[in-house]
Structure 1
Amino acid sequence: MDARANAKAAAIRRTGGKGQKKPSSKTGGAENFAFFSGSSNGFEVSPKAVLVISLLYIGIVVLLHIFGKVSSSATASS
C-alpha cells in the first residue's frame, strides 16, 4: 500500500466509514432569500439612509474624541 492509500484508509477509519455530507434543508434555502424579496418582516431602510446614519455616527464619535482630548488637556494645564 502506498502513502496515498494509507491516508485514505486512515481518513475512512476516522469518519467511521461515512463520508462527509452536507446537512439537507427541507425548505431548499428559501428562507435565505426572504431578505431580498418584498415579503421580509420588519422595516425597510434604503442603502442611502444606512450610509448617512453610519457617517453621522462616525462623525459624532470623532467629535466626542476631540472634545475628550480638549477637555482633558484643559483640566491638566489648569
Structure 2
Amino acid sequence: MDERTVPLRLDLRGLKCPLPALHARRALERAAPGAAIIVECTDPMAVIDIPHMVRQDGHLLDGQETEGDVLVFRLRKAG
C-alpha cells in the first residue's frame, strides 16, 4: 500500500478558524498526486473554509459529513 490508498488522517479538533484549512492545505501541498486525506475538526467555520480552499487550490472534495460535533472531510490531491 502507498499514501494514495491509505488516507492520511488529520485530527484538527479544537483548532479554530483559519487553522483547520491551513493545516489541510499544508498536508495537500506535501502529499503525492491522488493522495487521500481525511480531516476531522470541530470548528463550525470549516464547513465553509475547507471546501473553499479545496476548490481554490484545484483539489477534490470526495465527501463531507458530520459525526456528532466532529466535521469530517475527505480530500484528494489533484493530479
TM-score over 0.5 for the alignment?
Answer: no
Report which of the two has the higher share of helix.
1
Larger radius of gyration: 1
- Identify the TM-score tier after normalising by the shorter chain: under 0.3
Higher relative contact order structure (alpha carbons within 8 Å, sequence separation ≥ 6)? 2
Normalising by the residue count of structure 2, what TM-score does the alignment of the two structures yield?
Answer: 0.23
TM-score by length of 1: 0.23
